[in-house]
A and B are shown apart, each in its own frame.
Chain A
Amino acid sequence: MTPHIATLTLRAFQDEFAQALLATDSGAIPATDVAALIVEPGFAVYRNTVVKGCVDALQANYPAVERLVGEEWLRAAAAIYARAELPSHPMLLAYGAGFAEFLRTFAPAAELPYLADVARLDRFWSEAHTARDEEPLEPAVIRQRSLDELARVVLRPHAASRWAWFDALPIFTIWQRNRDAAFDHEAAPQIAWTGEGALITRPHGAVQAIQVDAAACAFLDACAAGRSMAEAASAAIRTDPTVDLSALMASLLNAGAFASGQTTEEFR
Protein backbone atom coordinates (compact mmCIF):
# COMPACT_ATOMS: atom_id res chain seq x y z
CA MET A 1 0.00 0.00 0.00
CA THR A 2 1.35 3.42 -0.84
CA PRO A 3 1.24 6.03 1.90
CA HIS A 4 -0.93 9.09 1.28
CA ILE A 5 0.62 12.53 1.37
CA ALA A 6 -1.55 13.40 4.32
CA THR A 7 0.24 10.72 6.29
CA LEU A 8 3.73 11.33 4.91
CA THR A 9 5.90 13.29 7.25
CA LEU A 10 7.04 16.65 5.93
CA ARG A 11 10.56 15.22 5.83
CA ALA A 12 9.52 12.22 3.74
CA PHE A 13 7.52 14.48 1.42
CA GLN A 14 10.56 16.66 0.87
CA ASP A 15 12.89 13.69 0.35
CA GLU A 16 10.62 12.26 -2.31
CA PHE A 17 9.82 15.58 -3.95
CA ALA A 18 13.51 16.51 -4.16
CA GLN A 19 14.36 13.12 -5.63
CA ALA A 20 11.58 13.38 -8.20
CA LEU A 21 12.69 16.86 -9.28
CA LEU A 22 15.90 15.46 -10.73
CA ALA A 23 14.72 12.01 -11.77
CA THR A 24 14.91 11.49 -15.51
CA ASP A 25 13.79 7.88 -15.30
CA SER A 26 10.22 7.33 -14.11
CA GLY A 27 11.29 4.03 -12.53
CA ALA A 28 13.30 6.04 -10.01
CA ILE A 29 10.22 7.86 -8.78
CA PRO A 30 8.98 6.77 -5.36
CA ALA A 31 5.76 4.73 -5.30
CA THR A 32 3.96 7.07 -2.91
CA ASP A 33 1.36 9.71 -3.55
CA VAL A 34 4.15 12.13 -4.48
CA ALA A 35 4.03 10.06 -7.66
CA ALA A 36 0.53 11.45 -8.24
CA LEU A 37 1.96 14.97 -8.21
CA ILE A 38 4.70 14.10 -10.65
CA VAL A 39 2.23 13.26 -13.39
CA GLU A 40 0.49 16.63 -13.03
CA PRO A 41 1.59 19.08 -15.74
CA GLY A 42 2.48 21.55 -13.01
CA PHE A 43 5.28 19.34 -11.73
CA ALA A 44 7.25 20.12 -14.88
CA VAL A 45 7.23 23.79 -13.89
CA TYR A 46 9.25 22.97 -10.76
CA ARG A 47 11.50 20.56 -12.61
CA ASN A 48 12.22 23.11 -15.33
CA THR A 49 12.69 25.99 -12.93
CA VAL A 50 15.22 24.13 -10.78
CA VAL A 51 17.36 23.07 -13.73
CA LYS A 52 16.91 26.42 -15.51
CA GLY A 53 18.08 28.28 -12.39
CA CYS A 54 21.28 26.24 -12.33
CA VAL A 55 21.84 26.45 -16.09
CA ASP A 56 21.24 30.21 -16.15
CA ALA A 57 23.83 30.60 -13.40
CA LEU A 58 26.42 28.49 -15.25
CA GLN A 59 25.74 30.36 -18.47
CA ALA A 60 26.31 33.65 -16.66
CA ASN A 61 29.46 32.37 -14.95
CA TYR A 62 31.10 30.80 -18.04
CA PRO A 63 30.70 33.33 -20.88
CA ALA A 64 33.94 32.47 -22.71
CA VAL A 65 33.01 28.77 -22.71
CA GLU A 66 29.59 29.71 -24.09
CA ARG A 67 31.14 31.79 -26.85
CA LEU A 68 33.35 28.85 -27.89
CA VAL A 69 30.66 26.17 -27.95
CA GLY A 70 27.47 28.16 -28.52
CA GLU A 71 24.50 28.70 -26.23
CA GLU A 72 22.71 25.45 -27.03
CA TRP A 73 25.77 23.25 -26.38
CA LEU A 74 26.64 25.15 -23.19
CA ARG A 75 23.10 24.88 -21.80
CA ALA A 76 22.88 21.17 -22.61
CA ALA A 77 26.22 20.50 -20.90
CA ALA A 78 25.23 22.71 -17.96
CA ALA A 79 21.98 20.81 -17.48
CA ILE A 80 23.89 17.52 -17.25
CA TYR A 81 26.30 19.06 -14.75
CA ALA A 82 23.46 20.59 -12.72
CA ARG A 83 21.58 17.31 -12.38
CA ALA A 84 24.72 15.69 -11.03
CA GLU A 85 25.88 18.63 -8.95
CA LEU A 86 23.16 20.90 -7.58
CA PRO A 87 24.42 24.06 -5.90
CA SER A 88 25.55 23.41 -2.33
CA HIS A 89 24.50 26.94 -1.35
CA PRO A 90 22.25 29.62 -2.83
CA MET A 91 24.97 32.07 -3.88
CA LEU A 92 24.72 31.25 -7.55
CA LEU A 93 27.49 33.70 -8.47
CA ALA A 94 29.79 31.06 -7.02
CA TYR A 95 28.02 28.05 -8.55
CA GLY A 96 29.98 25.72 -10.80
CA ALA A 97 33.29 25.34 -8.96
CA GLY A 98 33.62 21.89 -10.54
CA PHE A 99 32.44 22.82 -14.04
CA ALA A 100 35.94 23.06 -15.55
CA GLU A 101 36.84 19.57 -14.29
CA PHE A 102 33.48 18.29 -15.51
CA LEU A 103 34.29 19.60 -19.00
CA ARG A 104 37.74 17.98 -18.89
CA THR A 105 36.19 14.52 -18.90
CA PHE A 106 32.96 15.37 -20.76
CA ALA A 107 33.07 13.22 -23.90
CA PRO A 108 31.44 15.75 -26.28
CA ALA A 109 34.18 18.25 -25.33
CA ALA A 110 37.00 15.86 -26.24
CA GLU A 111 37.73 17.68 -29.51
CA LEU A 112 38.18 20.99 -27.69
CA PRO A 113 41.29 20.36 -25.56
CA TYR A 114 41.36 24.00 -24.39
CA LEU A 115 37.76 24.14 -23.16
CA ALA A 116 38.28 23.02 -19.55
CA ASP A 117 41.13 25.48 -19.01
CA VAL A 118 39.15 28.32 -20.58
CA ALA A 119 36.45 27.43 -18.04
CA ARG A 120 39.08 27.69 -15.31
CA LEU A 121 39.81 31.27 -16.37
CA ASP A 122 36.09 32.11 -16.42
CA ARG A 123 36.03 30.77 -12.87
CA PHE A 124 39.08 32.86 -11.94
CA TRP A 125 37.23 35.93 -13.24
CA SER A 126 34.19 35.19 -11.01
CA GLU A 127 36.42 34.63 -8.00
CA ALA A 128 38.33 37.85 -8.64
CA HIS A 129 35.07 39.74 -9.15
CA THR A 130 33.67 38.77 -5.75
CA ALA A 131 36.89 38.61 -3.71
CA ARG A 132 37.46 40.73 -0.64
CA ASP A 133 38.28 44.40 -1.32
CA GLU A 134 41.92 45.12 -0.71
CA GLU A 135 44.42 47.86 -1.58
CA PRO A 136 47.06 46.66 -4.05
CA LEU A 137 50.75 47.16 -3.37
CA GLU A 138 51.83 50.26 -5.26
CA PRO A 139 54.94 49.81 -7.44
CA ALA A 140 56.48 52.91 -5.83
CA VAL A 141 56.68 51.17 -2.46
CA ILE A 142 59.00 48.56 -3.94
CA ARG A 143 61.12 51.09 -5.82
CA GLN A 144 61.96 52.83 -2.54
CA ARG A 145 63.64 49.72 -1.13
CA SER A 146 67.20 48.52 -1.47
CA LEU A 147 67.85 45.14 -3.06
CA ASP A 148 68.95 43.72 0.32
CA GLU A 149 65.70 44.79 1.93
CA LEU A 150 63.65 43.47 -0.94
CA ALA A 151 65.27 40.06 -0.79
CA ARG A 152 63.75 39.48 2.66
CA VAL A 153 60.32 40.89 1.90
CA VAL A 154 57.38 38.52 1.62
CA LEU A 155 54.86 39.68 -0.96
CA ARG A 156 51.33 38.51 -0.41
CA PRO A 157 49.17 38.02 -3.52
CA HIS A 158 46.10 40.27 -3.58
CA ALA A 159 42.88 38.62 -2.35
CA ALA A 160 41.50 38.78 -5.91
CA SER A 161 44.63 37.43 -7.67
CA ARG A 162 44.30 34.13 -9.52
CA TRP A 163 46.94 32.77 -11.89
CA ALA A 164 47.82 29.63 -13.78
CA TRP A 165 50.36 28.47 -16.34
CA PHE A 166 49.12 26.32 -19.21
CA ASP A 167 52.01 24.39 -20.70
CA ALA A 168 50.56 23.19 -23.95
CA LEU A 169 48.01 25.68 -25.23
CA PRO A 170 47.48 29.46 -25.58
CA ILE A 171 44.66 29.39 -23.04
CA PHE A 172 44.93 33.06 -22.12
CA THR A 173 44.54 34.29 -25.68
CA ILE A 174 41.68 31.91 -26.42
CA TRP A 175 39.95 32.93 -23.21
CA GLN A 176 40.47 36.64 -23.66
CA ARG A 177 39.25 36.66 -27.25
CA ASN A 178 36.11 34.80 -26.28
CA ARG A 179 35.41 36.52 -22.99
CA ASP A 180 34.83 39.81 -24.79
CA ALA A 181 31.61 39.52 -26.78
CA ALA A 182 32.68 42.43 -29.01
CA PHE A 183 36.05 40.91 -29.94
CA ASP A 184 36.69 41.01 -33.69
CA HIS A 185 38.06 37.56 -34.50
CA GLU A 186 38.42 38.42 -38.20
CA ALA A 187 40.74 41.36 -37.58
CA ALA A 188 42.80 39.64 -34.87
CA PRO A 189 46.25 38.21 -35.55
CA GLN A 190 46.62 34.43 -35.78
CA ILE A 191 46.95 32.62 -32.49
CA ALA A 192 50.42 31.21 -31.78
CA TRP A 193 49.85 27.68 -30.48
CA THR A 194 52.21 27.70 -27.53
CA GLY A 195 51.79 27.59 -23.78
CA GLU A 196 50.53 30.70 -21.98
CA GLY A 197 49.83 31.82 -18.45
CA ALA A 198 47.14 34.10 -17.07
CA LEU A 199 46.88 36.47 -14.14
CA ILE A 200 43.39 37.68 -13.29
CA THR A 201 42.92 40.12 -10.44
CA ARG A 202 40.95 43.14 -9.25
CA PRO A 203 43.32 45.71 -7.76
CA HIS A 204 40.58 48.37 -7.70
CA GLY A 205 37.00 48.32 -8.99
CA ALA A 206 37.25 46.26 -12.15
CA VAL A 207 38.61 42.80 -12.89
CA GLN A 208 41.78 42.87 -15.03
CA ALA A 209 43.58 40.08 -16.83
CA ILE A 210 47.09 39.94 -18.21
CA GLN A 211 49.13 37.28 -19.94
CA VAL A 212 52.06 36.06 -17.84
CA ASP A 213 54.83 33.54 -18.44
CA ALA A 214 55.77 30.39 -16.56
CA ALA A 215 58.40 32.23 -14.49
CA ALA A 216 55.84 34.78 -13.27
CA CYS A 217 53.50 31.96 -12.26
CA ALA A 218 56.34 30.26 -10.36
CA PHE A 219 57.11 33.59 -8.67
CA LEU A 220 53.45 34.03 -7.64
CA ASP A 221 53.23 30.42 -6.42
CA ALA A 222 56.23 31.01 -4.17
CA CYS A 223 54.76 34.26 -2.80
CA ALA A 224 51.46 32.51 -2.11
CA ALA A 225 53.39 29.84 -0.18
CA GLY A 226 54.84 32.57 2.06
CA ARG A 227 58.36 32.56 0.58
CA SER A 228 60.55 35.67 0.53
CA MET A 229 61.14 37.65 -2.63
CA ALA A 230 64.62 36.13 -2.87
CA GLU A 231 63.15 32.63 -2.81
CA ALA A 232 60.39 33.62 -5.23
CA ALA A 233 63.04 35.00 -7.59
CA SER A 234 64.95 31.71 -7.37
CA ALA A 235 61.80 29.83 -8.23
CA ALA A 236 61.29 32.05 -11.26
CA ILE A 237 64.90 31.49 -12.39
CA ARG A 238 64.57 27.72 -11.95
CA THR A 239 61.51 27.82 -14.21
CA ASP A 240 63.20 30.03 -16.81
CA PRO A 241 66.94 30.72 -16.48
CA THR A 242 66.64 33.57 -18.98
CA VAL A 243 63.95 35.42 -17.03
CA ASP A 244 64.20 39.21 -16.74
CA LEU A 245 63.35 39.58 -13.06
CA SER A 246 62.90 43.33 -13.06
CA ALA A 247 60.51 43.14 -16.02
CA LEU A 248 58.66 40.31 -14.28
CA MET A 249 58.31 42.35 -11.09
CA ALA A 250 57.22 45.44 -12.98
CA SER A 251 54.47 43.62 -14.83
CA LEU A 252 53.12 41.95 -11.70
CA LEU A 253 53.22 45.18 -9.68
CA ASN A 254 51.59 47.17 -12.46
CA ALA A 255 48.85 44.55 -12.66
CA GLY A 256 48.18 44.95 -8.94
CA ALA A 257 48.97 41.32 -8.23
CA PHE A 258 50.06 41.92 -4.63
CA ALA A 259 48.33 43.24 -1.54
CA SER A 260 49.62 46.22 0.37
CA GLY A 261 50.37 45.53 4.02
CA GLN A 262 53.32 43.19 4.13
CA THR A 263 54.37 40.52 6.53
CA THR A 264 57.96 41.55 7.09
CA GLU A 265 59.18 44.34 9.33
CA GLU A 266 60.53 46.45 6.54
CA PHE A 267 57.06 47.05 5.22
CA ARG A 268 55.23 47.80 8.44
Chain B
Amino acid sequence: MTSTLSAGLSLKPEYYEQSHACSADGLWFEVHPENYMVAGGPRLAWLKTIRARHPLSLHGVALSLAADAEPDPNHLQRLAQLVQRFEPALVSEHLAWSTWRGAYHPDLLPFPRTTYALARIAANIGRAQDVLQRPIAIENPSHYLHIEGHEFSEIEFLTELARRTGCRLLLDVNNVYVSANNMGFDAQNYLDWFPAALVAEIHLAGHTQDLKLGTALLVDSHDAPVDAAVWQLYERLIARIGPRPTLIERDGNLPAFDELLAERTHADAVLRSSVPALLAA
Protein backbone atom coordinates (compact mmCIF):
# COMPACT_ATOMS: atom_id res chain seq x y z
CA MET B 1 0.00 0.00 0.00
CA THR B 2 1.21 3.47 -0.75
CA SER B 3 -0.24 4.77 2.48
CA THR B 4 -1.00 3.31 5.89
CA LEU B 5 -4.73 3.93 5.44
CA SER B 6 -6.62 0.87 4.31
CA ALA B 7 -10.40 0.69 4.75
CA GLY B 8 -12.20 3.13 7.05
CA LEU B 9 -15.61 3.62 8.62
CA SER B 10 -17.98 6.52 9.18
CA LEU B 11 -17.71 7.57 12.81
CA LYS B 12 -21.10 7.82 14.48
CA PRO B 13 -21.80 8.79 18.11
CA GLU B 14 -23.60 5.43 18.49
CA TYR B 15 -20.27 3.68 17.84
CA TYR B 16 -17.82 5.90 19.72
CA GLU B 17 -16.71 3.27 22.23
CA GLN B 18 -16.42 0.41 19.76
CA SER B 19 -14.71 2.64 17.21
CA HIS B 20 -12.16 3.73 19.74
CA ALA B 21 -11.47 0.18 20.89
CA CYS B 22 -11.24 -1.37 17.42
CA SER B 23 -7.69 -2.31 16.52
CA ALA B 24 -8.05 -3.47 12.89
CA ASP B 25 -4.87 -2.77 10.94
CA GLY B 26 -5.12 0.26 8.67
CA LEU B 27 -8.50 1.32 10.10
CA TRP B 28 -9.40 5.02 9.97
CA PHE B 29 -12.53 7.05 10.65
CA GLU B 30 -14.37 9.72 8.72
CA VAL B 31 -16.69 12.42 10.08
CA HIS B 32 -18.67 15.31 8.69
CA PRO B 33 -16.82 18.28 10.18
CA GLU B 34 -20.10 20.22 10.42
CA ASN B 35 -21.10 17.90 13.28
CA TYR B 36 -18.01 18.91 15.25
CA MET B 37 -18.20 22.67 14.75
CA VAL B 38 -19.11 23.26 18.38
CA ALA B 39 -17.43 25.24 21.13
CA GLY B 40 -16.84 22.24 23.38
CA GLY B 41 -18.47 19.26 25.01
CA PRO B 42 -18.50 15.48 24.73
CA ARG B 43 -18.51 15.32 20.92
CA LEU B 44 -15.21 17.10 20.57
CA ALA B 45 -13.83 15.15 23.50
CA TRP B 46 -14.76 11.87 21.80
CA LEU B 47 -13.23 12.93 18.52
CA LYS B 48 -10.02 13.83 20.31
CA THR B 49 -9.96 10.45 22.06
CA ILE B 50 -10.56 8.54 18.85
CA ARG B 51 -8.13 10.67 16.88
CA ALA B 52 -5.43 9.83 19.44
CA ARG B 53 -5.71 6.20 18.30
CA HIS B 54 -6.87 6.28 14.68
CA PRO B 55 -6.26 8.39 11.57
CA LEU B 56 -9.12 10.74 10.76
CA SER B 57 -10.75 12.04 7.60
CA LEU B 58 -12.85 15.22 7.49
CA HIS B 59 -15.52 14.89 4.81
CA GLY B 60 -17.36 18.19 4.43
CA VAL B 61 -20.88 18.47 3.10
CA ALA B 62 -21.42 22.21 3.30
CA LEU B 63 -18.64 24.27 1.71
CA SER B 64 -21.01 24.66 -1.24
CA LEU B 65 -18.10 24.83 -3.69
CA ALA B 66 -20.37 24.77 -6.74
CA ALA B 67 -22.36 27.81 -5.63
CA ASP B 68 -21.88 30.95 -7.67
CA ALA B 69 -20.50 32.64 -4.56
CA GLU B 70 -17.37 32.46 -2.45
CA PRO B 71 -17.35 29.81 0.27
CA ASP B 72 -18.70 31.27 3.54
CA PRO B 73 -15.55 32.63 5.22
CA ASN B 74 -16.87 31.79 8.70
CA HIS B 75 -17.57 28.22 7.73
CA LEU B 76 -14.19 27.90 6.07
CA GLN B 77 -12.54 29.28 9.19
CA ARG B 78 -14.32 26.78 11.40
CA LEU B 79 -13.19 24.00 9.07
CA ALA B 80 -9.62 25.31 9.19
CA GLN B 81 -9.74 25.21 12.99
CA LEU B 82 -10.80 21.56 12.94
CA VAL B 83 -8.06 20.74 10.41
CA GLN B 84 -5.51 22.44 12.61
CA ARG B 85 -6.75 20.77 15.75
CA PHE B 86 -7.23 17.21 14.50
CA GLU B 87 -4.58 16.99 11.74
CA PRO B 88 -6.70 14.74 9.52
CA ALA B 89 -5.06 12.39 7.04
CA LEU B 90 -7.71 13.31 4.45
CA VAL B 91 -9.94 16.32 3.82
CA SER B 92 -12.67 16.23 1.21
CA GLU B 93 -15.75 18.00 -0.13
CA HIS B 94 -18.31 17.59 -2.91
CA LEU B 95 -18.80 18.81 -6.45
CA ALA B 96 -22.12 20.36 -5.44
CA TRP B 97 -23.75 23.33 -3.76
CA SER B 98 -25.87 23.53 -0.62
CA THR B 99 -25.62 27.00 0.93
CA TRP B 100 -27.23 29.69 -1.16
CA ARG B 101 -27.95 33.29 -0.16
CA GLY B 102 -27.53 32.55 3.51
CA ALA B 103 -29.72 29.44 3.64
CA TYR B 104 -28.29 25.95 4.07
CA HIS B 105 -30.05 23.23 2.06
CA PRO B 106 -28.97 19.91 3.59
CA ASP B 107 -28.27 18.18 0.28
CA LEU B 108 -25.71 18.04 -2.54
CA LEU B 109 -27.37 20.03 -5.31
CA PRO B 110 -26.59 19.78 -9.04
CA PHE B 111 -25.64 22.43 -11.60
CA PRO B 112 -24.80 22.65 -15.32
CA ARG B 113 -21.11 21.89 -15.87
CA THR B 114 -20.28 24.96 -17.94
CA THR B 115 -17.05 26.84 -18.61
CA TYR B 116 -18.28 29.52 -16.24
CA ALA B 117 -19.01 26.98 -13.47
CA LEU B 118 -15.58 25.44 -13.97
CA ALA B 119 -13.84 28.78 -13.39
CA ARG B 120 -16.03 29.61 -10.39
CA ILE B 121 -15.58 26.21 -8.72
CA ALA B 122 -11.84 26.18 -9.41
CA ALA B 123 -11.62 29.58 -7.69
CA ASN B 124 -13.67 28.30 -4.74
CA ILE B 125 -11.53 25.19 -4.36
CA GLY B 126 -8.42 27.37 -4.59
CA ARG B 127 -9.81 29.63 -1.86
CA ALA B 128 -10.60 26.64 0.38
CA GLN B 129 -7.17 25.09 -0.13
CA ASP B 130 -5.48 28.42 0.63
CA VAL B 131 -7.30 28.77 3.93
CA LEU B 132 -6.89 25.10 4.86
CA GLN B 133 -3.28 25.14 3.66
CA ARG B 134 -3.59 21.72 2.08
CA PRO B 135 -5.12 20.07 -0.98
CA ILE B 136 -8.63 18.67 -0.62
CA ALA B 137 -10.31 15.86 -2.53
CA ILE B 138 -13.50 16.54 -4.48
CA GLU B 139 -16.24 13.90 -4.67
CA ASN B 140 -18.50 13.04 -7.59
CA PRO B 141 -22.10 13.37 -6.32
CA SER B 142 -25.11 11.21 -7.18
CA HIS B 143 -27.28 12.46 -10.05
CA TYR B 144 -31.04 12.42 -10.33
CA LEU B 145 -31.79 15.00 -13.06
CA HIS B 146 -31.13 15.33 -16.78
CA ILE B 147 -29.74 18.86 -16.76
CA GLU B 148 -29.46 20.53 -20.13
CA GLY B 149 -26.44 22.58 -20.90
CA HIS B 150 -23.53 20.49 -19.61
CA GLU B 151 -20.47 21.52 -21.60
CA PHE B 152 -18.24 18.90 -19.95
CA SER B 153 -18.61 15.30 -18.88
CA GLU B 154 -18.21 14.87 -15.14
CA ILE B 155 -14.82 13.20 -15.55
CA GLU B 156 -13.57 15.99 -17.82
CA PHE B 157 -14.82 18.56 -15.33
CA LEU B 158 -13.21 16.90 -12.31
CA THR B 159 -9.95 16.32 -14.14
CA GLU B 160 -9.80 19.96 -15.20
CA LEU B 161 -10.52 21.12 -11.63
CA ALA B 162 -7.62 18.99 -10.42
CA ARG B 163 -5.34 20.39 -13.13
CA ARG B 164 -6.23 23.99 -12.27
CA THR B 165 -6.20 23.74 -8.47
CA GLY B 166 -4.04 20.77 -7.55
CA CYS B 167 -7.02 19.21 -5.76
CA ARG B 168 -7.39 15.45 -5.64
CA LEU B 169 -10.53 13.41 -6.29
CA LEU B 170 -12.74 11.32 -4.05
CA LEU B 171 -14.35 8.63 -6.17
CA ASP B 172 -17.67 7.44 -4.77
CA VAL B 173 -18.35 4.14 -6.53
CA ASN B 174 -21.90 3.94 -5.21
CA ASN B 175 -22.62 7.42 -6.56
CA VAL B 176 -21.34 6.30 -9.96
CA TYR B 177 -23.60 3.26 -9.81
CA VAL B 178 -26.64 5.30 -8.74
CA SER B 179 -25.98 8.04 -11.30
CA ALA B 180 -25.38 5.54 -14.12
CA ASN B 181 -28.67 3.87 -13.29
CA ASN B 182 -30.62 7.13 -13.07
CA MET B 183 -28.98 8.93 -16.02
CA GLY B 184 -28.57 5.90 -18.27
CA PHE B 185 -24.82 5.57 -18.69
CA ASP B 186 -22.45 2.68 -18.11
CA ALA B 187 -20.94 2.68 -14.61
CA GLN B 188 -18.10 0.34 -15.49
CA ASN B 189 -17.12 2.46 -18.46
CA TYR B 190 -17.14 5.60 -16.26
CA LEU B 191 -14.89 3.92 -13.71
CA ASP B 192 -12.56 2.56 -16.39
CA TRP B 193 -11.98 6.12 -17.61
CA PHE B 194 -11.65 7.76 -14.21
CA PRO B 195 -8.13 9.24 -13.83
CA ALA B 196 -6.38 6.80 -11.49
CA ALA B 197 -3.56 9.11 -10.47
CA LEU B 198 -5.98 11.68 -9.01
CA VAL B 199 -7.91 9.33 -6.74
CA ALA B 200 -7.07 10.10 -3.10
CA GLU B 201 -10.00 8.28 -1.53
CA ILE B 202 -12.88 5.97 -2.44
CA HIS B 203 -16.37 5.80 -0.94
CA LEU B 204 -18.64 2.79 -0.83
CA ALA B 205 -22.19 3.02 0.48
CA GLY B 206 -25.63 1.52 0.20
CA HIS B 207 -28.51 2.90 -1.85
CA THR B 208 -32.25 2.35 -1.94
CA GLN B 209 -34.93 2.29 -4.61
CA ASP B 210 -37.40 5.14 -4.93
CA LEU B 211 -40.68 4.17 -3.27
CA LYS B 212 -42.75 4.84 -6.39
CA LEU B 213 -40.34 4.23 -9.25
CA GLY B 214 -38.36 1.28 -7.93
CA THR B 215 -35.12 0.55 -9.78
CA ALA B 216 -35.80 3.34 -12.30
CA LEU B 217 -34.70 5.81 -9.65
CA LEU B 218 -32.05 4.82 -7.13
CA VAL B 219 -31.36 7.08 -4.16
CA ASP B 220 -27.94 7.44 -2.56
CA SER B 221 -29.35 6.99 0.93
CA HIS B 222 -26.35 5.67 2.92
CA ASP B 223 -28.76 3.58 4.97
CA ALA B 224 -28.14 0.08 3.64
CA PRO B 225 -25.22 -2.33 3.12
CA VAL B 226 -23.05 -1.84 0.04
CA ASP B 227 -24.77 -3.47 -2.95
CA ALA B 228 -23.20 -6.55 -4.59
CA ALA B 229 -22.99 -4.73 -7.94
CA VAL B 230 -21.09 -1.88 -6.27
CA TRP B 231 -18.64 -4.35 -4.71
CA GLN B 232 -17.98 -5.79 -8.19
CA LEU B 233 -17.30 -2.36 -9.65
CA TYR B 234 -15.03 -1.60 -6.71
CA GLU B 235 -13.02 -4.80 -7.09
CA ARG B 236 -12.48 -4.11 -10.77
CA LEU B 237 -11.48 -0.50 -10.03
CA ILE B 238 -8.93 -1.48 -7.39
CA ALA B 239 -7.47 -4.14 -9.67
CA ARG B 240 -6.88 -1.34 -12.21
CA ILE B 241 -5.71 1.56 -10.03
CA GLY B 242 -4.28 -0.17 -6.96
CA PRO B 243 -5.19 0.35 -3.32
CA ARG B 244 -6.68 3.64 -2.09
CA PRO B 245 -8.12 4.55 1.30
CA THR B 246 -11.70 3.28 1.10
CA LEU B 247 -14.59 4.30 3.30
CA ILE B 248 -17.65 2.25 4.16
CA GLU B 249 -20.08 5.15 4.45
CA ARG B 250 -23.15 4.71 6.60
CA ASP B 251 -25.36 7.52 7.89
CA GLY B 252 -28.78 6.00 8.54
CA ASN B 253 -30.51 2.79 9.65
CA LEU B 254 -27.38 2.02 11.64
CA PRO B 255 -26.70 -1.70 12.15
CA ALA B 256 -24.58 -3.32 14.86
CA PHE B 257 -20.98 -2.11 14.68
CA ASP B 258 -19.81 -5.62 13.77
CA GLU B 259 -21.91 -5.56 10.59
CA LEU B 260 -20.13 -2.43 9.39
CA LEU B 261 -16.83 -3.89 10.45
CA ALA B 262 -17.53 -6.94 8.28
CA GLU B 263 -18.04 -4.69 5.24
CA ARG B 264 -14.89 -2.86 6.17
CA THR B 265 -13.00 -6.18 6.37
CA HIS B 266 -14.23 -7.01 2.87
CA ALA B 267 -12.89 -3.73 1.48
CA ASP B 268 -9.64 -4.21 3.37
CA ALA B 269 -9.22 -7.67 1.82
CA VAL B 270 -9.81 -6.25 -1.68
CA LEU B 271 -7.18 -3.57 -1.05
CA ARG B 272 -4.60 -5.98 0.35
CA SER B 273 -5.07 -8.56 -2.40
CA SER B 274 -4.58 -5.91 -5.09
CA VAL B 275 -0.95 -5.30 -4.19
CA PRO B 276 0.45 -8.72 -5.18
CA ALA B 277 -1.86 -8.74 -8.22
CA LEU B 278 -0.45 -5.42 -9.40
CA LEU B 279 3.10 -6.60 -8.78
CA ALA B 280 2.45 -9.78 -10.79
CA ALA B 281 1.04 -7.71 -13.65
Q: A: which residues have CB within 8 A of B? A: 4-11, 13-15, 17-18, 21, 33, 36-37, 40-43, 45-46, 49-50, 52-54, 57, 86-94, 129-134, 159-160, 202, 205-206
Contacts and interface: CB of A to CB of B under 8 A. Distances in A.
A40 B145 contact: yes
Nearest to B63: A90
B114 interface: yes
B70 to A, nearest CB: 13
Contact of A89 (B68, B69, B75, B97): B75
A53 B106 contact: yes
Interface residues of B, number: 52
A10 B146 contact: no
A96 B97 CA distance: 22
Nearest to A89: B104
Contacts of A129: 41-43
Given A10-B68, A132-B39, A49 B106 contact: yes
B124 to A, nearest CB: 11
Interface string B110-141: 11101011001000000000000000000000
18 contacts: A5-B147, A10-B114, A10-B117, A10-B120, A14-B100, A40-B144, A41-B216, A42-B217, A43-B145, A53-B106, A54-B106, A86-B105, A87-B103, A90-B75, A90-B98, A133-B39, A134-B40, A159-B40
Contact of A9 (B104, B116, B148): B116
A131 B35 contact: no
Given A15-B101, A133-B39, 17 more contacts: A7-B149, A8-B112, A21-B105, A21-B109, A37-B145, A41-B213, A42-B144, A45-B144, A50-B105, A53-B105, A89-B75, A90-B62, A90-B106, A131-B39, A133-B40, A133-B44, A202-B41
Nearest to B150: A6
Nearest to A47: B107
A134 B41 CA distance: 9
Contact of B148 (A11, A33, A87, A130): A33
B160 interface: no
Contacts of A42: 143-146, 182, 217
B34 interface: yes
Given A21-B105, A45-B217, A5 B149 contact: yes
Contact of A40 (B117, B146, B212): B146
Nearest to B149: A6
Given A13-B111, A91-B34, A86 B75 contact: no
Contacts of A53: 105-107
A42 B145 CA distance: 5
Contacts of B75: 89-90
Interface of B: 34-35, 37-45, 61-62, 67-69, 72, 74-75, 97-107, 109-112, 114, 116-117, 120, 143-149, 182, 210, 212-213, 216-217, 219
A33 B67 CA distance: 19
B80 to A, nearest CB: 15
B106 A5 contact: no
A79 to B, nearest CB: 13
B67 A43 contact: no
Contact of B39 (A4, A37, A130): A130
A45 to B, nearest CB: 5
A91 B148 contact: no
Contacts of A41: 210, 212-213, 216-217
B144 A10 contact: no
A9 to B, nearest CB: 7
A9 B213 CA distance: 32
Contacts of B114: 6, 10
A11 B45 CA distance: 40
Contacts of B101: 15, 18
A13 B102 contact: no
Nearest to B46: A205
Contacts of B68: 9-11, 14
A45 B186 CA distance: 22
Contacts of A37: 145-147
Nearest to A82: B106
A88 B210 contact: no
A193 B29 CA distance: 49
Interface centre among B34, B38, B102 (most CB of A within 10 A): B38
A57 to B, nearest CB: 8
Nearest to B103: A86
A15 B109 CA distance: 12
Contacts of A159: 39-40
Given A89-B75, A159-B39, A205-B45, A17 B148 contact: no
B104 A88 contact: yes
Given A49-B107, A90-B106, A14 B67 contact: yes
A90 B45 contact: no
A54 B35 CA distance: 14
Contacts of A18: 100-101, 103, 105
A130 B40 contact: yes
B103 A14 contact: no
